[in-house]
Amino acid sequence: MLKSLFGGRKSYGEPIVIVSGLPRSGTSMMMKMLDAAGIPIMTDAIRTADVDNPNGYYEFERVKDLEKETDRSWVREARGKALKVISWLLKDLPDDNAYDIIFMRRDIDEVLASQNKMLVNRGESGGENDSPGDEMMADAYRSHLASVRIMGKKKPNWRLIEIRYDDSVRDPAAVARSVNAFLGGKYDERRMLTAVDSKLYRNRKDQLPAAGTAG
């Protein structure tokens, strides 16, 4: 789904490319695609690559404080660049910038399985099985995703495209074309393809031990 909002956007300055989505939804992969395409990335590289994200996280630590910060003027430094912002914090982006938002979608069962696996790898969970709260978490995620869509329709400084993670892995050329067109068609799609590693598509729904909810 592509939504274009043009009215008055030039007054906000050069747009900030925001890569967003739920945790474990492919946001790091999309940041890597944009990096390969030649888009400047706003990252401090504090969070380094690990077994869960071998290609790195492309994060900027200060983003995590958006909700509680009163001075968010630093976000302007990302104009003309790509910045990763988890979906829960999109509401806290200051309204004095234009945002081109690439919103990553992934099946909710896969998101939860990937999050549970990450907790195991960090030693923060006793096992890889679904936690008792997964069904409640899935409902909360669905409600949150609906609120993001509603918010996007109300924001005159937002443009938003939704990209499915599984599509990015199965047909990266088509996704690269869509993303490039959304961003003005001036980036290197062939280089974007080099950032997609299908071997890192783990916790696939068709390989999960039990069927659950779809995202």
155-200: pLDDT as tens digits: 999 999 999 999 999 999 999 999 999 999 999 999 999 999 877 5
State the pLDDT at residue 199. 75
DSSP reduced 3-state for 141: helix
Could you tell me which residue, 45 or 74, shows the higher pLDDT?
74
Query: How confident is the model over 121-142, as pLDDT tens digits?
Result: 666 654 444 454 778 888 888 8
In a domain, 210, yes or no: no
Q: What's the rounded Cα separation, in Å, for the pair 204 and 94? A: 35
State the pLDDT at residue 56. 74
Return all residues near 56 (Cβ < 8 A) that are at least 6 apart. 28, 32, 45, 48, 49
In a domain, 176, yes or no: yes
Could you tell me which residue, 42 or 200, shows the higher pLDDT?
42
Q: Is the torsion defined by CA of 10, 31, 19, 66 positive or negative?
A: negative
Average pLDDT score over the chain: 84
In a domain, 143, yes or no: yes
Element (H, E) at 190: helix 189-193
Confidence band for 115, pLDDT divided at 50, 70 and 90: confident
In a domain, 207, yes or no: no
Beta-carbon count within 10 A of 213 CB: 15
Q: Distance of CA 210 to CAs 30, 107, 109, 126, 189, Å?
A: 28, 14, 9, 19, 37
Residue 187 tokens, joined: 């980036």
What's the predicted TM-score (pTM) here? 0.81
Q: What's the rounded Cα separation, in Å, for the pair 35 and 84? A: 12
- Overall domain count for the chain: 1
State the pLDDT at residue 205. 57
CATH number at residue 41: 3.40.50
In a domain, 212, yes or no: no
The boundaries of the domain holding residue 70 are 2-202
